[in-house]
């Protein structure tokens, strides 16, 4: 797959509404009521990242302060609704977004980031240093998932 020019992406915090287009197209095409929000979107501790190519958002992710009882640590964040526009996948946009998030979370003194990873997305998360728990579980309407996680003290 052809890579785009060096460093063509810019990732920054965006409003939740700006995630809806990619959520609709890439993540939740089964939704028919037009509601692409999730409850934690507007929590004070939640932040949304968008990766821009030129003036267009091509990758999104939502970061929520939520502990997973599978882990002992207190200071956890959860990644939800991570996706890259189909025309721009495998060009480094998701990596740019994810690495920006890790720096923000480190500044917040968060210890660990976790997510429910779709099986097709596991190679992406692994490429970024996440590890997975063994169990596979179903999420209705979406499919099989594994829990993945990364400790922030393991990255620079």
Q: Which residues bind ligand COA (CB under 6 A)?
A: 26-27, 59, 82-84, 89-95, 117-118, 120-121, 123-124, 127
Q: Which is nearer to ligand COA, 114 or 124 (CB)?
A: 124
Q: Which is nearer to ligand COA, 27 or 49 (CB)?
A: 27
Q: Which is nearer to ligand COA, 74 or 140 (CB)?
A: 140
Q: Which is nearer to ligand COA, 16 or 59 (CB)?
A: 59
> Nearest distance from residue 85's CB to ligand COA, in Å?
8
> Nearest distance from residue 128's CB to ligand COA, in Å?
7
> Nearest distance from residue 17's CB to ligand COA, in Å?
19
Residue of 140, 106, 142, 105 whose CA lies nearest to 121? 142
Tokens 């920006």 found at: 100
Ranked by CB distance to ligand COA, the top (closest) residue is 94
Q: Which residues pair with 23 in a beta bridge?
A: none
Compute CA distances 31 → 28, 117, 121, whole Å.
Answer: 6, 19, 20
3-class secondary structure, 136: coil
> Nearest distance from residue 97's CB to ligand COA, in Å?
8
> Nearest distance from residue 26's CB to ligand COA, in Å?
5
Residue 125's H or E segment, with its range, is: helix 122-127
Compute CA distances 108 → 4, 35, 115, 152, whole Å.
Answer: 31, 30, 18, 11
């Amino acid at each position: 797959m052809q890579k785009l020019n060096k460093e063509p992406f810019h990732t920054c915090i965006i409003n939740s509404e700006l995630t809806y287009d990619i959520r609709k197209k890439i993540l939740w095409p089964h939704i028919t009521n037009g509601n692409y929000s999730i409850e934690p979107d507007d929590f004070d501790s939640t932040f949304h990242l968008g990766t821009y190519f030129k003036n267009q958002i091509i990758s999104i992710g939502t970061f929520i302060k939520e502990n997973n009882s599978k882990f002992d640590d207190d200071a956890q964040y959860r990644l939800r609704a991570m996706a890259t526009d189909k025309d721009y996948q495998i060009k480094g946009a998701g990596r740019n977004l994810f690495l920006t998030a890790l720096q923000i979370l480190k500044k917040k003194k968060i210890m660990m980031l976790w997510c429910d990873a779709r099986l097709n997305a596991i190679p992406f998360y692994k490429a970024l240093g996440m590890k997975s728990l063994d169990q596979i579980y179903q999420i209705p309407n979406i499919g099989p998932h594994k829990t993945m996680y990364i400790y922030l003290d393991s990255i620079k």
